[in-house]
Amino acid sequence: MGKSFEVLDGGNVTSPKGFLAGGLHSGLKKVDRNDLGLIYCEVPAAAAAVYTLNAFQAAPLKVTRESIAREGKLQALIVNSGNANAVTGAQGEADAQEMRDQTASILGIAGHLVGVASTGVIGELLPMDKVRRGIANLPGRLKADGGDDFCQAILTTDLVQKSTAVRLTVGGQAVTVAGAAKGSGMIHPNMATMLGFITTDAAIDAEHLHLLLRKATDSSFNMITVDGDTSTNDMVVVMASGLAANEPLNPEHPDWAAFAEAFGFIAEYLAKAIARDGEGATKLVEVNVTGAASIESARAVAKTVVGSSLVKSACFGADANWGRILAATGRAGVMVDPETVDVRLGDFLVLEQSRPVPFDDPAATEYLKGNEVQIYVNLNMGTASATAWGCDLTYDYVRINAAYRT
């Protein structure tokens, strides 16, 4: 069965009707690269968000949560990189609030229609003089093709920009769903030092948008890991302009499943792009778990295997060490039958019914040298399945994080 949507070449957050974006260098970063970005919708958009589970939630998250709670709408998102504005106390919250209020004032919209996001170093106050000057100049940078400028503005240790868009038909109307994200380190299930922004021109209310976002997040952003650390600033926000003029979507709509598939594709694409761009990474690692007794068990095993430092190191070294995969499976905290597990590395069956089988070790090593590695674990206990994504663990990961503040 084919996909219900088409992927748009060069698609980004401004592909849906009604959205503009832009970015500029405000001086938050020493390098001359955009560090302040803005997404703007021509009309108040239905909005929903999910946030980090870290107990230390950064000030911008609190401001955004308050904005969306007001009436389930946003019209703009102001985002900075280079400084997380996290663990900065009352002053940090005042600064995040000021970012929201200044953005609203300069755009001529209500304050609660603005969301705020920040990413970067924790524990340092924002240099608000630079932020103020940057915000004042941002409206002039907004444009229909400003998605790339926005994407550059949200990067920290990321090596590449992450964005995509798809188009489908809903009730006879063309509908577009798009997204952009940043994330490279401090990435772990239940989100990470990642920011995700999804836009669509579909007509859908905030309640159903939140339902869709929660479900998509559970199988995408919550299924990636780079280093086992969950950040203070993680947030995924979705805005729906409604300008596609379709009949409002809900679970009873005949095209709901198609829209959910397109929405899920955007979330998964961005999640995989984050995992692939893990700090110092040389390859994307995908773990597919089948035969689990429940979806919760499948997800637990997949996330444990892909997050194992030993598995990640083996992938980096192209070592077909199935023992590390089996050990991670056994410590996932769920019921596993130690007599029934099968493991494959790509097309190479290395373990069957929990017993090693002969395989072409040199050929498996060559496979592991590629830039994508797929690991398959069949628990043979049920029908549930799940997939998780991560990356290898390299020398460069230590180098990058040993000097993050300097």
Which of 218, 251, 276 lies at the terminal end of a domain, its last residue? Answer: 276
Q: What is the CATH number of the domain that holds 306?
A: 3.10.20.340
In 247-352, which residue ranges form alpha helices assigned H by DSSP?
Answer: 256-276, 295-307, 309-316, 322-330
Average pLDDT over the chain, rounded to an integer: 91
If one counts every other C-beta atom within 10 angstroms of the C-beta of residue 293, the result is 16
Asked whether residue 311 falls in the same domain as residue 265, the answer is no
Which of 223, 258, 276 lies at the terminal end of a domain, its last residue? Answer: 276
The residues annotated as belonging to the active site are 193
Element (H, E) at 148: helix 147-153
Per-residue pLDDT, averaged over 364-385, amounts to 97
Q: Flag whether pLDDT at 278 surpasses 80.
A: no
Q: What is the CATH number of the domain that holds 206?
A: 3.60.70.12
Q: In the prediction, which pLDDT does 194 show? A: 79
Q: Find how far residue 226's CA is from the centre of its chain.
A: 12
Tell me the C-alpha distance between 276 and 285, whole Å.
8
Asked whether residue 207 falls in the same domain as residue 300, the answer is no
Report yes or no on 174 lying in a domain: yes
373 versus 3: the higher-pLDDT residue is 373
Contact 305, 321 (CB under 8 A): no
Asked whether residue 180 falls in the same domain as residue 125, the answer is yes
Give the number of C-alpha atoms closer than 13 A to the C-alpha of residue 215, restricted to the C-beta side: 15
Tell me the C-alpha distance between 223 and 389, whole Å.
6
Q: Flag whether pLDDT at 100 surpasses 80.
A: yes
Phi, psi of 192 (to 5 degrees): -160, -160
Asked whether residue 222 falls in the same domain as residue 342, the answer is no
Report yes or no on 219 lying in a domain: yes
Which of 223, 253, 276 lies at the terminal end of a domain, its last residue? Answer: 276
Asked whether residue 292 falls in the same domain as residue 259, the answer is no
Q: In the prediction, which pLDDT does 185 show? A: 47
Asked whether residue 260 falls in the same domain as residue 294, the answer is no
- Of 33, 366, 40, give the one whose Cα is nearest residue 197: 40
Q: In the prediction, which pLDDT does 31 show? A: 83
Tell me the C-alpha distance between 310 and 313, whole Å.
5
Q: Flag whether pLDDT at 186 surpasses 70.
A: no
Collapsing DSSP to helix, strand or coil, 25 comes out as coil
Asked whether residue 239 falls in the same domain as residue 348, the answer is no
Q: Flag whether pLDDT at 188 surpasses 50.
A: no
Q: Find how far residue 191's CA is from the centre of its chain.
A: 7
Structurally, the chain folds into a number of domains equal to 2
Report yes or no on 41 lying in a domain: yes
Asked whether residue 254 falls in the same domain as residue 296, the answer is no
Structural domain including 178 reads 6-276
Asked whether residue 269 falls in the same domain as residue 306, the answer is no
Report yes or no on 236 lying in a domain: yes
If one counts every other C-beta atom within 10 angstroms of the C-beta of residue 370, the result is 13
Cα dist from 36 to 20, 29, 95, 106, 195, whole Å = 15, 10, 15, 15, 14
Q: Flag whether pLDDT at 406 surpasses 70.
A: no
Encoded tokens for 229: 């650390």
Asked whether residue 17 falls in the same domain as residue 90, the answer is yes
If one counts every other C-beta atom within 10 angstroms of the C-beta of residue 9, the result is 7
- Per-residue buried b or exposed e for 164-188, using 16+ beta carbons within 10 Å of the residue's own CB: bbbbbbbbeeebbbbbbbbbbbbbb
**pLDDT, tens only, 146-179:** 999 999 999 887 777 889 999 999 999 999 999 9
Tell me the C-alpha distance between 136 and 265, whole Å.
35
**pLDDT, tens only, 24-70:** 999 998 888 999 999 999 999 999 999 877 777 889 999 999 999 99
Encoded tokens for 150: 């926005």
Report yes or no on 238 lying in a domain: yes
Asked whether residue 143 falls in the same domain as residue 243, the answer is yes
Asked whether residue 225 falls in the same domain as residue 356, the answer is no
Contact 240, 178 (CB under 8 A): no
Contact 308, 300 (CB under 8 A): no
DSSP string for residues in 367-385: HHTSSEEEEEEE--S-SEE
Report yes or no on 261 lying in a domain: yes
If one counts every other C-beta atom within 10 angstroms of the C-beta of residue 256, the result is 16
Tell me the C-alpha distance between 279 and 28, whole Å.
21
Report yes or no on 1 lying in a domain: no
Report yes or no on 271 lying in a domain: yes
Confidence of residue 16 (pLDDT cuts 50, 70, 90): very high
Query: Which residues have CB under 8 Å from 187's CB, separation 6+?
Result: 193, 194, 224, 225, 226, 227, 229, 274, 275, 278
- Of 300, 295, 10, 268, give the one whose Cα is nearest residue 144: 10
Tell me the C-alpha distance between 341 and 400, whole Å.
37
Beta strands in 111-234 (DSSP E): 114-121, 162-170, 173-182, 195-200
Element (H, E) at 65: helix 59-71
